[in-house]
Structure 1
């Protein structure tokens, strides 16, 4: 008899079969996402049925909590109809997602379904009362045009897919698009209600947009004090605007090689130090590679791809060398610790190597996943991993970005901020370059709520650690705390709190 956790995982993978293949799981290699209204409603009905049975199931309480979150998360995203007004960000836009996955997984049995996905996405964009932002329409069309201008790629095989992509591009270019002044969800039908649900989904808390907005403002103010302290040691100045200016203009990479070498050294240093802070180590090692050339124009500074469980793809930390000489070198190490070791590589690989049900090994719970990644940026400082005060300034820079996300994401989607107002706020309160600020804001517009998960999760993990340490005193074991957080797989923050409280009491 199939357990409820197995049934839930099957529905989740049926809704995202390319992700199943990315994970290295058999059974979905001949399937592609069905993003039609009817297709999404079939998935929604199956998940609603699971939710009606979860409380009476014989699954353990932690697994029930994960099942409940994962089912509600997919339903929330279906109901928000993001597919009808997002065209750039792969997390929400089907065609962008297709182009990002295509060269990483086996498409041989599913490439014949690509025209169907393109047609379904075009239909959703045309037949809706929502519109994407006008500038994103142009960006999406350019992305497809870049693909059409490239030589035939291996994943296409001998299938003639280019006409279907061209037809999709023409539909995108025909869209009217909305103005930058109305970039957020609150300007769309049912936008405020949808955003409130997405906030709950991504943070796994009851914090309101207004509370999150104020939290971000408070954190930004506190970070300016830390900038002043380190800036006085590095440059002899505590004037934050001057520190920001110097970070943006003086500490840049001389060339791509230096950037890549620094990343390799940071990951190696973290790997060597980690056994002092973790009892449980991933069996799979993390490779460091350059971002594939075809993805560099749209890829972030760096990112992590977990290894496939069937061994078909290694766990990899990708470094994007594009524009290296325009990037601050202070961000190199903090990104490596977040994305690779002891961040996402430890988190995702340890979970995948457990005997937990698949629904828990591979759960997508952003407040846990990104909260851990951000927690490890500060943990790396405790571990002595940063090679200089300059690199510690990079740690503060990423803290400011994540705090700024609380302000800007809620500003856009709950309080009606324009795109320019969001850009101006990040420009004034972070050390990101102009290019990075613009890219961040455009991401928040297309993935409402996701950016809130980082700081909310980090603060909760830190709070739980402090509470356990206060309760246990000299008996507190940081290694054991880290093992506890990682060995249970991704869980909602309330469930993580229950786990830590029980552990500390025992």
Structure 2
């Protein structure tokens, strides 16, 4: 079924039928600066206007590619948010759809946008000392998931890829809880992933080692993302005809990083 959907790609593009590996090449311009500018341009209808900032894109050194994330946003100093930096790890960037969605996560409407927008509201400085990973990574993951629908892919293809990414991240979060709360061994983890059709033992062992090294890391991303989806559902119910994407996004961004019970209290 996946192959059928992915085969109906836009003319001139090449989409892999193995969505667990490469997602495909469909962009006319895969320059990171162009992608970032395009993503910023998509904010107008659904997000509050971003402050004017400059963003420098840098690349991870070859010798460090094996050890670093696919990309990361360098959070600026609290008194200097005009200049921003995003690093890209080319060793972990197999195709331009991955690059596009990663830049949405790290840039617009993800980390960079959320950080500089909130800073532009001149929050009390103590807010910079408080760390809410579920909010920041949940927002960036929410942004990444939305960005699939900003690509040139058909809606059907974008939906498939977005759901696939969400499901895999959900499996990582479940494995995280299984390993650190229920005490899963490597054998338990292999059995769990094989139950979902992921059968490469070496890959599962890599995932296991990654989760062992950073307990609860995936929960920030996935549960944070799901919390934003639940907030959005509730906003649609409570606001009715008054609901708009921009109103919802402004409400959660204006509160800034906080626990989700506090966010819920303030936006409703």
TM-score, normalized by length of structure 2?
0.80
Distance change >3 Å, CA 252–CA 359, structure 1 → 2: same
State the number of aligned residues: 258
Q: Is the 8 A contact 1:365 1:491 kept in 2?
A: yes
Match of 2:229 in 1: 462
2:153 is aligned, of 380, 388, 396, to 388
Distance change >3 Å, CA 395–CA 439, structure 1 → 2: farther
Q: Which runs of 5+ in 2 are unaligned?
A: 9-14
Match of 1:320 in 2: 89
Q: Is the 8 A contact 1:372 1:457 kept in 2?
A: yes
1:232 matched to 2:1? no
CA deviation vs aligned residue, 1:194-248 (integer Å, no higher than 9, x gap)? xxxxxxxxxxxxxxxxxxxxxxxxxxxxxxxxxx4x5432237xxxxxx996235
Q: Is the 8 A contact 2:53 2:82 kept in 1?
A: no
Q: How does 1:330-341 map to 2 (within 5 A)?
A: 330-341=97-108
Match of 1:196 in 2: none
Q: CA deviation at 1:251?
A: 5.3
Q: Is the 8 A contact 2:232 2:248 kept in 1?
A: yes
Counterpart CA distance in 1 for 2:37 and 2:3 is 28
CA deviation vs aligned residue, 1:426-484 (integer Å, no higher than 9, x gap)? 57748899887555432321221221122212222112222222222222232122112
Alpha-carbon RMSD across the aligned residues, in angstroms, is 3.4
CA deviation vs aligned residue, 1:336-360 (integer Å, no higher than 9, x gap)? 2112110111112222333212232
Q: How does 1:128-139 map to 2 (within 5 A)?
A: none
Distance change >3 Å, CA 439–CA 355, structure 1 → 2: farther
Give the secondary-structure state (helix, strand or coil) at the position aligned to 2:91: coil
Distance change >3 Å, CA 500–CA 304, structure 1 → 2: same
Q: Is the 8 A contact 1:266 1:336 kept in 2?
A: yes
Which entry has the higher C-alpha Rg, 1 or 2? 1
Match of 1:246 in 2: 18
1:296 matched to 2:61? no
Distance change >3 Å, CA 394–CA 355, structure 1 → 2: same
2:121 is aligned, of 349, 354, 364, to 354
TM-score, normalized by length of structure 1?
0.45
Distance change >3 Å, CA 433–CA 305, structure 1 → 2: farther
Q: Is the 8 A contact 1:408 1:422 kept in 2?
A: yes
Counterpart CA distance in 1 for 2:196 and 2:168 is 8
1:279 is aligned, of 48, 60, 70, to 48
**Greater helix share, structure number:** 1
Q: CA deviation at 1:312?
A: 9.1
Counterpart CA distance in 1 for 2:109 and 2:197 is 24
Q: CA deviation at 1:288?
A: 2.3
Match of 1:476 in 2: 243
Distance change >3 Å, CA 312–CA 341, structure 1 → 2: closer
Match of 1:377 in 2: 144
Counterpart CA distance in 1 for 2:267 and 2:82 is 33
